[in-house]
Chain A
């Protein structure tokens, strides 16, 4: 039985959220506020907190089961599978969004003459093979890239910190609180709720009982990293951060050390490309588990090919450009993810709790 350790799980969760988070979130936060941008990054903790509560209910009511297996257990084969199809739609739309974010980012930053669909095809093919090899391999690749991130990211941030100017943050907390809240909605509800994807990995976890704590730890680390990144971005770029699609890319491009050290964005793009492929792989693992549960199959080796193929097709079809992606994330995703990752599982666990209480009462009546 393949088992993923707590350390591996926390790393997988961090890269799952920060993979696209470091590309998209600073830009979406800066659209709402600059002065309070540093605090908006902590919205991730709110999403992580909600996911931790959901995970706590899940591991107590459905130990060792995935979310889609739990739905079939609690709601029966027909309604449970309908729930599974809803989850599949959520998974495919998220895969498409990640794939399009990636192809647009790579196209704009390093491969302007390569068609976006080709870039995303390569990314989906790599992540498909990772998914085929299984969750343990994905977890080990997450561990493998940690040294790159742990060495390169602080160096880039420290070099950028020389250009930091605190004036965009003054007066301190000067914007109305509602602006800070609006800026925190995307981190909290669009990215923070992605932690709930771990519910699909429960059977592969070595200690599923600690899942809620692991989500909180991953959320705290991600929130600190995101807030640091947003603070640096706004401090270095100032007002123009509002109008850039990829402000962090411009932050890294702004680094110049001496006469020869510049254009370090290649390192940044390499890191982002790796984390995006890993994010695609982790979501494909979750979607693959849902396909397995909905189809009632025992094998999962036949699943990655059609899942990757559909994810790739949808990423090219749904979003014609970066504006479509950003608009979708800002306008629809908070409500969509809140419904899918919080409300529906909440209803499911409520039904299970009622079923458990009813069964206990019937047993007590029979005994008396």
Chain B
């Protein structure tokens, strides 16, 4: 007798077709692995509250607050928010 889980899994498999989500070539596997590893690493860092003093947002701020300030009209700089 077929279990309920097997029926549900068969329906899910028929609707979503999970097999198509799997990469085929080695190059696709490399990119898939890099993106997934980054995602898992970032999720773990977030869960463990590992925010370095010079985090990504600080780097963005350092790199682009100057050009943004220029767009805002230059010398006066950005208004505090």
Contact = CB atoms under 8 A, between A and B. Distances in A.
- Helix, strand, loop or mixed for chain A's interface? helix
Interface residues of B, number: 41
B71 A185 contact: yes
B56 to A, nearest CB: 6
A31 B71 contact: no
Contacts, number: 125
B54 to A, nearest CB: 14
Contacts of A309: 35-36, 39
B60 interface: yes
A301 interface: yes
A164 B64 CA distance: 38
Interface stretch (A14-22, A63-71, A326-334): A326-334
Q: Indicate the size class of the contact surface on chain A.
A: 35 or more
Interface stretch (A146-154, A270-278, A311-319, A351-359): A311-319
Interface in A319-343: 319-320, 323-324, 326-328, 330-336, 338-339
B45 interface: yes
B11 interface: no
Contacts of A332: 57, 60-61, 63-65, 68
B31 to A, nearest CB: 4
A295 B31 contact: yes
B46 A313 contact: yes
15 contacts: A93-B60, A132-B21, A297-B23, A299-B24, A301-B20, A306-B32, A310-B38, A313-B43, A317-B43, A331-B68, A334-B64, A334-B68, A335-B67, A336-B64, A338-B67
